Structure 1
Amino acid sequence: MKRRMSSFLSDCSAVSIGAGVVTAVTAAAATYYVATQPEPNVIPPIDLSDQSIVLEDGVRISRFCENGKLMKYMYEDVKTAYDAFQRGLKISGDQPCLGTRTGPNLEYEWMTYKEVFAKSRAFGSALLTRGLKPNDTSFIGIYSINRPEWVFTEQACSMFSMVSVPLYDSLGPDACKYIIKQGEISYVVCDTTQKTENLLAKADQCPSLKCIIMMESPSDELKSKAAKHKIELIQFNDFLEVGEKNLQEPKPPKESDMATICYTSGTTGDPKGVMLTHANLITNMSSVTCMALKAVSVEQSDVHISYLPLAHMFERGMEIICFMHGVRIGFFRGDVKLLTDDMQALKPTIFITVPRLLNRIYDKILNSVQSSALKSKLLEWALEAKSREVERGIVRKNSIWDKLVFGKVQNLLGGRVKIVITGSAPLEAKVFRFIRASFGCVVMEGYGQTEATAGITFSIAGDPSTGHVGCPLPCAKVKLVDVPEMDYYAEDGKGEICSYGPSTFIGYFKNEAKTKETIDDDGWLHTGDIGEWQPRGTLKIIDRKKNIFKLSQGEYIATEKIENCYSRSRFVAQAFVDGNSLKNNVVGIIVPDPEVMPGWAKTEGISPDMEELCKNKKVKDMIFKDIIGVGKEAGLKKFEQVANIYLFPELFSLENGLLTPTFKNKRPFLRKKFQSLIDEMYAELEK
């Protein structure tokens, strides 16, 4: 993932902060700035000192819950995913809906809401002509990056009460085989020849698979290969024509009907199929909308860029919100290296993202000014001034500091972004502060997981504080439960985060045992994350219950916490920490940052080649010292710090199978790959 982001991040590095600005001009700018500050324009809708309601037994709910009741939906006419699109269709009609960059000039070309509805109806009608039933026993696989055909397929499923089952672009053929076999899926929509080849390679182990509908034009050779496995291969547009000639009336779903099975990639074992109903989707997205609308309006003129995988509920949920408000959605070209260019062409107003990207933007901007004392000071002044504005509820892009410093950062995103929503992992406080100031827009953070549909907590519009993930969404009750083996107790305001409400999933597909492990007898979802209630009623993520093990002296180790800590070192791109119960310490595989290390090597007069750097003891000692310092600063205990490290020159990625599709360490694969090196590191420590 990081390699694919390198072009985007190099654009950030290239932003020249205040080049040519002299001290006298800066002083004049500061005077002008003080004299022209506007009034606050983002007013918190509730008292920020008391953001959640405490019920019995420490359970908390949102202050946006009417009469203490959990929210089920925001609009009377939107109770299913089908209803959400219908509302957008009613609002927009012939206004743009989906856009792609095509043609010689790479301009965005748009399909209207009516056109998208027509194609979705045709696709669903074609499925019915093939004998599929319009109910939630019909599963349709989608194996593709984000593009219009993805939406046509999903909307067809909603229109005809079928179930969409995404096959992650990066799960690989074994996991895809597992999902198809478990779901007895007969129809899979696939975007490329390569992915079709992947499916055909496992076809003998997928007896249910009857038809692959390809977005690209299949070659005769590929059709012949499919025919040998008794699988029909048909081009997507040809399939649409079948439906257009046999149009069927929509058969909309009920709220309680299953809408999708979203498989979580997991870090161990086979993927688990999270079953989500239409009610799950709508209650969660209505709750996010309710809180986001307190900050900004969402209307037809808004534009969302779709680049996070539609196979995950974060992106899919955002698109439901867009559809219900008639917003237009522009797709990136499928390559994150081109994301900056796509955003500058699309000029989105809505941008959802993940901390991994925001962290790297922050790092690159700071690194870009280190060589100049004037630029560093100017950035410091600008950050301080804009942060004071955010604390006062002033959000804008037209201050003198935006003109001198932050304007180029904003233009990387197209210049029009008015709201940023980040999720999937906590965002460090200093990065949050920087992004709010530099982007010049409302920035909100959420926390959740697929099993809760998407969100569990969300930050309040106008809350300038950082270091937490907000308060409960209106659709969820939240409580903390004791984790005695990690010394966390609810009476101290710390414990495992549990959620309850109408957005909780109905179970793992064909996996009752895992369902019972995750949802207790009272219906509470146990997330595996450790949280701490803050004095103002917000929640802070402080640890992870999963991926823990005991050291030989009985101390528990939470490896993800340590890895996240070390990744904040400027020299570290990625970290994998491991150990076992027979040892009294942990060791780590460290991937040095390929964008920082060459510059450091130059100042040290050594080769900038990554492989040579990783073999250099001086480099190893320097990085080891730095991460131990970072760990101490973050409060890691002595037994949590690595005792030895190995420097690895290649980034963990989706392509080499070392990251999950949500960009988390794929622990079993990493352990298998590095087991001999881990053994060697322990052997060195025992000499």
Structure 2
Amino acid sequence: MKQKDLNPVLLLAFHLMVSIYSFFTFIPYYIFTWVLYGSEPDHAIRKKHNPVPGKLVRLLYPGLDTLPKVFEYVAMRFPHRECLGTRELISEEDELQSNGKKFSKVVLGKYHWLSYKEALSAASQFGYGLAALGQKPKHNIAIFCETRAEWMLAALGCFMQNFTLATFYSTLGGPAIAQGLNETEVTHIITSTKLLETRLKPILVKVPKLHCIIIVDNTPTSWPDYPSGISIHNMADVQRLGARPENAICEQIQPITSDIAVIMYTSGSTGDPKGAMISHSNIIAAIIGLAERIPNLSEKDTYIGYLPLAHVLELSAELVCLAHGCRIGYSSPLTLADQSAKIMKGTKGDVTILQPTLMAAVPEIMDRLYKNVMAKVEEMNSVQQTLFTLAYKYKLDQLNKGYSTPLCDKLVFSKIRALLGGRVRVLFSGGAPLSADTQRFMNVCFCCPVGQGYGLTETCGAGTISQVWDYSTGRVGSPLVCCEIKLKDWVEGGYLNIDKPYPRGEILIGGPNVTMGYYKNRGDQSDFFVDESGQRWFCTGDIGEFHEDGCLKIIDRKKDLVKLQIGEYVPLGKVEATLKNCPLVDNICAYAKSDKTYVIAFVVPNQKHLQALADQYGVSGTLEELCKDQVMEELVLKVITEAAVAAQLVSFEIPRKIHLSPDPWTSDKGLVTDAFKLKRRELEMHYRNEIARMYDGE
């Protein structure tokens, strides 16, 4: 039989197998569901019913109203449970790439763990050591470090001593670091050897109050070529200092709920970073709200930490885990998976070794996973592609009906699921909108629900999260038990509470998780207000609509809305989220001027798909040459336009001209944040010449 004749036969065989399987499993499944939930109509009502909390929850455990109290309580409950894990570095060497460049690769071993008892002792000793080095309670101390176990230990030690922790992204440039350190007037900073040598050392003369540096690595104590007024210590030395009887003071100044635990600097996607002041009560409230959306969260769970801990999404997620006795294994985007950039061939990635049950991700990372897997599907022969497509559609249909597909998961999707370790049971998405295609793909192929959420630094990362049984796309769930949400009319943008079929408006979040404002009033304090009942609110600037089941959908953003000369408003974020689904697009920034009549865009093309398009039309050259080629620019624009039309973007929302960029946008270049959000102002400056070219001759 010829291969082209196999597809109809496979199709018939697959449908026959599905019919037989469904027949023999439906009755037991129906009985089991009826026993648990009652009749099916009642089950549907239960799933849709989402009451607004009558009273916002503020405490996780009775009487435990600060972070030190919570962690000490959990450490006493689970003293021998594994708490913080770091993977052993066996070797590191340069590997020659096909382009002649060398790239550092690592060989990693097993995870080594600190128990909860050991973590509590290490953090406590570190806090006492900082006090012995002159750090004062309620004074700011900075942490400028990569995500790792030492980051969390240092933070816990600071919380115990009531030191206010000012967090900075490890990718910040020199001027931004100097500005933040001077603004917070810190005298002590916690960092790594790499960041000290590459980022901090050049700007030390610009930070006159800084005189004590603590290195989290196990490095030498001799540091030549540094200003004479600065002392440098290893973390281990600071812990030994804190362990001395004379320094382990019994009466430490315990924080109270209103004390500021963290000054978290925002990512600066729309301007200079500003510090949100987060109190202990803010974080406790956020922990409660986030934890409530994780079914059966317990000490049996394992979380993988790799996103920036200076970002509210990662910090809140890890504190949720620590508050419930989970273990946290640390990783990085460069060592996360077997195919990650820094993993030596033959070495397993962190997620394969750790096998986490819980994981957080930003849409950019999930979009990459989606495109990588779909690229491999395209390389399959027609038989394999047919089976995969049939299985995908079958499972998606079953999920929409509320049914599971264990046989399909086992036979078809187990290898894809193994890319995340094979045990992830809940995956959380935040930081930006997640495309519908990517969300469906994660639900189906990774065999786990995606809890898409919405929150901001100013609300301690908490706002909404979708329920695990909700497989609808484009929505971010209902309000958490720690907050409430209301919509405020935005007349200028045409969004009103009386809109049909759904009320629309600017999203306002209120509750104990709303932070205390911006440090030194640098941001717009009018974004915060207190109502007549004493509850704090934050005006997010995002536009949402509420559906009848209480779930929120983000539909626009004030600052991403540009009014064209023709009088139409263009939602740039919506345009970008839509066009990122195009396989040819790795990243995109839509841009428009209010005195112009059309939208333009900067596009980072997918190299593989761009090359395939070039081969199809007989265009040759390197990636850089293809991106500069006007013919390729027009071909890519045609593909993007077709994708935009298929996605039902209106004509004035579709970019009329584009610029192709061969270089990906990274946080190191200052074009995106650590959470991969676009920095529009920086992108505008970076492409100012291309903007002028694309708008010339209108």
TM-score by length of 1: 0.88
d(CA) in 2 for partners of 1:217 and 1:411? 34
CA contact (8 A) 1:81 1:278 kept: yes
CA contact (8 A) 1:518 1:527 kept: no
d(CA) in 1 for partners of 2:474 and 2:572? 20
Question: Which of 97, 103, 111 pairs up with 2:83?
Answer: 97
- The match for 1:327 is 326
Question: Which has the higher mean CA deviation after the structures are superposed, 308-317 or 354-363?
Answer: 354-363
- The match for 1:353 is 361
How far the C-alpha of 1:612 sits from its partner, in A, is 2.0
d(CA) in 1 for partners of 2:258 and 2:451? 30
Alignment of 1:245-284 (within 5 A): 245=244, 246-249=247-250, 250-284=252-286
Question: Which has the higher mean CA deviation after the structures are superposed, 236-245 or 554-563?
Answer: 554-563
Question: Which has the higher mean CA deviation after the structures are superposed, 600-609 or 339-348?
Answer: 600-609
- The match for 1:33 is 21
1:554-574, Cα deviation, whole Å (9 max, x unpaired): 333332222222222111111
What amino acid sits opposite 2:491 in the alignment? P
What amino acid sits opposite 2:69 in the alignment? D
Change (3 A) 1:640 1:616: same
What amino acid sits opposite 1:655 in the alignment? D
What amino acid sits opposite 1:357 in the alignment? I
- The match for 1:120 is 123
Does 1:514 pair with 2:529? no
- The match for 1:199 is 200
Question: Which of 652, 660, 673 pairs up with 1:639?
Answer: 652
Alignment of 1:287-686 (within 5 A): 287-292=289-294, 296-333=295-332, 335-336=334-335, 338=337, 341-371=349-379, 372-395=381-404, 399-492=406-499, 493-511=503-521, 514-519=524-529, 523-607=536-620, 609-683=622-696, 685-686=697-698
d(CA) in 1 for partners of 2:624 and 2:198? 34
d(CA) in 1 for partners of 2:17 and 2:64? 49
What amino acid sits opposite 1:502 in the alignment? P
How far the C-alpha of 1:28 sits from its partner, in A, is 6.5
How far the C-alpha of 1:347 sits from its partner, in A, is 0.7
What amino acid sits opposite 2:509 in the alignment? S
Change (3 A) 1:205 1:627: same
Question: Which of 38, 43, 62 pairs up with 1:76?
Answer: 62
Aligned-CA RMSD value? 2.6
What amino acid sits opposite 1:332 in the alignment? S
d(CA) in 1 for partners of 2:214 and 2:338? 28
Alignment of 1:152-167 (within 5 A): 152-167=153-168
Change (3 A) 1:194 1:284: closer
What amino acid sits opposite 1:175 in the alignment? A
SS at match of 1:575: strand
Change (3 A) 1:453 1:194: closer
How far the C-alpha of 1:26 sits from its partner, in A, is 4.1
Alignment of 1:36-185 (within 5 A): 36=25, 39=29, 47=45, 50-53=48-51, 62=52, 65=53, 68-102=54-88, 104=90, 106-134=109-137, 137-185=138-186
Change (3 A) 1:561 1:442: closer
What amino acid sits opposite 2:375 in the alignment? N
What amino acid sits opposite 1:276 in the alignment? I
What amino acid sits opposite 1:475 in the alignment? C
TM-score by length of 2: 0.87
What amino acid sits opposite 1:626 in the alignment? V
- The match for 1:9 is none
d(CA) in 1 for partners of 2:620 and 2:493? 44
What amino acid sits opposite 1:171 in the alignment? L
d(CA) in 1 for partners of 2:682 and 2:645? 29
d(CA) in 1 for partners of 2:545 and 2:558? 13
CA contact (8 A) 1:395 1:441 kept: no
CA contact (8 A) 2:307 2:333 kept: no
- The match for 1:8 is none
CA contact (8 A) 1:196 1:212 kept: no
- The match for 1:56 is none
Question: Which has the higher mean CA deviation after the structures are superposed, 533-542 or 33-42?
Answer: 33-42
CA contact (8 A) 1:87 1:325 kept: no
d(CA) in 1 for partners of 2:49 and 2:588? 35
CA contact (8 A) 1:546 1:558 kept: no
CA contact (8 A) 2:135 2:188 kept: no
CA contact (8 A) 1:485 1:556 kept: no
How far the C-alpha of 1:194 sits from its partner, in A, is 3.8
1:620-658, Cα deviation, whole Å (9 max, x unpaired): 122112222222333433222222111111111112221
1:300-340, Cα deviation, whole Å (9 max, x unpaired): 22111001111111111111111111111100156256476
SS at match of 2:659: strand
Question: Which has the higher mean CA deviation after the structures are superposed, 560-569 or 451-460?
Answer: 560-569
d(CA) in 2 for partners of 1:486 and 1:344? 47
- The match for 1:224 is 224
Runs of 5+ in structure 2 lacking a partner? 1-5, 91-107, 340-348
CA contact (8 A) 1:98 1:328 kept: yes
SS at match of 1:486: coil
Change (3 A) 1:345 1:477: same
What amino acid sits opposite 2:260 in the alignment? M
Question: Which has the higher mean CA deviation after the structures are superposed, 380-389 or 44-53?
Answer: 44-53
How far the C-alpha of 1:152 sits from its partner, in A, is 1.3
How far the C-alpha of 1:678 sits from its partner, in A, is 0.8
CA contact (8 A) 2:329 2:354 kept: yes
What amino acid sits opposite 1:497 in the alignment? I
d(CA) in 1 for partners of 2:384 and 2:392? 12
Change (3 A) 1:78 1:434: farther
d(CA) in 1 for partners of 2:219 and 2:292? 44
What amino acid sits opposite 2:427 in the alignment? V
What amino acid sits opposite 1:259 in the alignment? A
SS at match of 1:569: coil
How far the C-alpha of 1:90 sits from its partner, in A, is 2.0
CA contact (8 A) 1:529 1:541 kept: yes
What amino acid sits opposite 1:618 in the alignment? V
How far the C-alpha of 1:346 sits from its partner, in A, is 0.5
Does 1:209 pair with 2:206? no
CA contact (8 A) 2:362 2:675 kept: no
What amino acid sits opposite 2:510 in the alignment? Y
1:268-287, Cα deviation, whole Å (9 max, x unpaired): 43211011111111111101
SS at match of 1:543: strand
Give the fraction of aligned pairs with identical amino acids, expressed as a percent: 32
d(CA) in 1 for partners of 2:638 and 2:72? 58
d(CA) in 2 for partners of 1:187 and 1:395? 53
What amino acid sits opposite 1:278 in the alignment? H
CA contact (8 A) 1:550 1:557 kept: yes
- The match for 2:345 is none
How far the C-alpha of 1:184 sits from its partner, in A, is 0.5
Change (3 A) 1:418 1:208: same
Question: Which has the higher mean CA deviation after the structures are superposed, 330-339 or 157-166?
Answer: 330-339
